[in-house]
Every structure is written in structure tokens, then in C-alpha cells.
Copies of this chain bind each other. A is one copy, B any other.
């Protein structure tokens, strides 16, 4: 199926409104999901709508949270998300953070009692649009063992970073701290395909190419012990420091239906004007990008990319040509709409093919 972004966004927002989200919060979540699809990050796109609706209906995610600043200083904010949707809680945090970074020069924001926040890029882009260097991180349910261990302890905690630039597209890094997203292993298991060695270990800690065995074991961190250490840093800042869950004490979005997730996030925003005039900074970062793009390439490499550049190209293409959804995902999101009394047919111009 090929669907049109704007109508898909309206459909997702309409479904979320039926389970208690205010219009503007529904729009935020819909924007995050459809933006992920547009950028080619389909694992964090509308495929998440059914589980979000399920948790909202069960009351383990709060459709209308009282997001509160519980600690504050010139350069820090601690925010209680009241079990709201991560995209809603995170967007409030970023908005408060933009204000504070402009006033104080920079801000560290901890968030507790939140839920799955979608992509880190979604928040980083909000900061970059306000001309701030922005970091977004989150912890996540345990799927990776500590280095040398075999039991999942930390999540594939995402690390995102964005930089305003001049004439180019912004640099937007958004990565899981695992070698690959766990979703790729789930897909291989469903298809009965093998996975490459190095993606995961089985429950005894042995390297495995068996996708099903990998799902019972642990995903491996990117870059071995170094990537594990960065994932641990993210959990310390998002979980331990904020008062959210950490390690295995975060509830699984797909498994723990009796309690909120208690995910924690960690954002940082920096005003470039406190270091040099923004115009000069943008000249310098443009120079860096120009130099990297024109560097000598290895045989077989057609082009050198900056972080986020490929996603911008996919986005441009999908804005023009529509978002391709698998039949499974289309059926899933259609069904959840029907259960909520929203017919995807009312948004039928969403379907291009």
C-alpha cells in the first residue's frame, strides 16, 4: 500500500482522539509516527499505533497527563511525565528547554514517568528548528546484556544529536546503541531467515545466526564494549538520575500490561550564540560538510553521507510519492481504527495505490 503522509497523519490523530488524547497531543503523536515513516524509519512509524491505543485503553499510558516541572535550576529541568505518551511529554520538555536554553545558554533536561517516545530525531529536529544544538536520549526495556553477560540488562537506548547548519540539510544523527534494531531480528524470525553473526547472542551467550534463538537471548551493542558503555551512560542519565526505571526495571511496551512503563529521557539543548555568532557557526559547519562530501571515496562508494542525509532524501521522495506500508501494517492500523469507531475509508485519499 502507498499512503499519503498528510492524510495518514490525520487518520492517526483521529484514532488517538477517540481514546482520550486532546487534539493537539494526538497531532504530536501522529506527527512523530508519520515523520518516522517519511524518513524511512518504519520501525518507529504507524506500526506503533495499535500498541499505543491498547496501552491507552488499558490505562497504563495516560492520554491527558499533567506534565510537571518538579525540579528546576538555571540550567536544569526535571520533568514528571505523569505516564503520558513519550512524544507529548518529550515535546513539552523540549519547548520548556528551548525557552531555558535561550535564557541561560544551555539546559540539561531529565524526564521520568514517561513512555516510549518514538524517534529521538523527532525531538532533535524541534531543537534544531529553534537554532539550538540538541541531544535526545532515552532508556528502553532491557534487551542487551552487559558486556560479558548473557541476560538482558539495558535497552537498545537511542542516541540522537542534531546541529543547525547553513546552506545544507541539518545534521541529524539518530541511532540505537545496538548493532541493529531488534525489529530486524523479529522480521527475520517471522520469515524463518538467518541473521548475520554479530547481531545477537543466544540465551547461553553464544553468537548465533538463528533469529528465534537471538530473540530469546540478547541483542549486541554496536562497537562491542564501547557501545555498551554508551548505552549504559544513557540509562544512567535517563533512568538513574531522573528517578525513572533503569536497567530491567522499565516495563515493556509489548509485555507489561498491568503497569506504566516508567521510561526516562534525557535532553540537552545548547545555544550556539553563546559560543559564536550563529552565522559564523553555520559557515563553519557548512565548510565541514562541504569538505566531507568532497573527500576521496573508497572504491564502490558513490557518495559520502552526513548523519541524517539519507533520511532527508527518503523523506523528500515519500512526500512526493507517498509512504509504502506493508499489507500487515495497513491491516493493523485499519483494524485499530475500526475498534475506535474511525474508518480509514474516511481518509481514503490517504491511499494512493
CB distance from A216 to the nearest CB of B (A): 13
The complex places the Cα of A299 from the Cα of B148 at a distance, in Å, of: 9
A76 CA / B276 CA spacing, docked (Å) = 12
Q: Are B149 and A299 in contact (CB under 8 A)?
A: no
Also in contact, A292 and B75, with CB within 8 A (given A163-B236, A227-B223, A275-B242): no
Return chain B residues, CB-CB under 8 Å to A175: 226, 229
Known contacts A106-B108, A274-B71; decide if A295 and B236 are in contact (CB<8 Å): no
Which residues of A from 178 to 198 have beta carbons under 8 Å from B?
179
Q: Is the CB of B153 within 8 A of A76?
A: no
A237 beta carbon closer than 8 Å to chain B: yes
A96 CB within 8 Å of chain B: no
Q: Which residues on the B side are within 8 Å of A233 (C-beta)?
A: 161, 173
The verdict on A50 contacting chain B, using a C-beta distance below 8 Å, is no
Q: How far is the CB of A241 from chain B (nearest CB, A)?
A: 5
Among B78, B101, B307, point to the contact of A232 (Cβ < 8 A). Answer: B307
Contact (Cβ within 8 A) A205 B307: no
Contact code string A261-296 (vs B, CB < 8 Å = 1, else 0)? 000000010111011100001001100100110011
Interface secondary structure of A, over-half rule: mixed
Report how many residues on chain A are interfacial, defined by Cβ distance under 8 Å.
Answer: 77
- A115 CB, nearest partner CB in chain B, Å: 20
Q: Quick one: copies of this chain in the complex?
A: 2
CA distance A34 to B291 in the complex (A): 38
Interface centre among A163, A298, A305 (most CB of B within 10 A): A298
With a cutoff of 8 Å between Cβ atoms, the chain B residues found around residue A304 in the complex are: 146-149
A151-B295, A236-B288 known; A73 vs B104 contact (CB < 8 Å): yes
A241, B76: Cβ atoms closer than 8 Å: no
Q: Which residues of B lie under 8 Å from residue A103 when comparing CB positions?
A: 74
* Residues 199-218 of A at the B interface (beta carbon under 8 Å): 201, 204-206
Judging by beta carbons under 8 Å apart, are A275 and B76 in contact?
Answer: yes
- Interface residue from B104, B226, B240, B241 paired with A74 (Cβ < 8 Å): B104
Instruction: Pick from B145, B148, B223, B297: contact of A148, CB below 8 A.
Output: B297
CA of A306 to CA of B228, assembled, Å: 10
Residue A110 interfacial (CB < 8 Å): yes
The answer to whether the Cβ of A222 comes within 8 Å of any Cβ in the partner chain is yes
**Choice from B104, B147, B223, B241 contacting A281 with Cβ under 8 Å:** B241
Interface assignment of A224: CB less than 8 Å from any CB of chain B:
yes
Minimum CB distance partner of A240 in chain B: B284
Instruction: List chain B residues, Cβ under 8 A from A268.
Output: 108, 268
Given A106-B106, A233-B161, A150 and B240 touching (CB < 8 A)?
A: no
| 17 additional A-B residue pairs with CB within 8 Å, beyond A106-B107, A147-B305 | A71-B276, A76-B271, A76-B275, A104-B104, A133-B236, A147-B304, A148-B301, A150-B296, A159-B230, A179-B223, A205-B296, A205-B299, A206-B298, A223-B227, A240-B284, A240-B285, A248-B291
Q: How far is the CA of A258 from the CA of B171 in the complex (A)?
A: 34
A127: Cβ under 8 A from any B Cβ: no
